[in-house]
Amino acid sequence: MIEVFLAIALLIALTILLSLYRAALGPGVFNRVAGINVIGTKTIVLLVIIGYIFERPLFF
């Protein structure tokens, strides 16, 4: 079961990198702000998944 959450965490980390590309090279200001917003949201989700993997409820 941990392998599934690890795979999901890696997939989310990959999407964070894609959002970072959008935030850095977006065609307009709105796209850059939206990219930063997505990075923040996905980071919180990634912290929750890492907290579940390492059995640390403080990450929730």
Distance CA 31, CA 2 (A): 34
Q: Does 8 have pLDDT greater than 80?
A: yes
The token pair that represents 10 in the structure block: 């890696």
Q: Does 60 have pLDDT greater than 80?
A: no
User: Which stretches within the chain are classed as H helix?
Assistant: 2-25, 29-53
Rounded to two decimals, the pTM is 0.83
What confidence tens digit (pLDDT) does each residue in 21-37 have?
999 998 999 999 999 99
- Residue 2 pLDDT level (bands cut at 50, 70, 90): confident
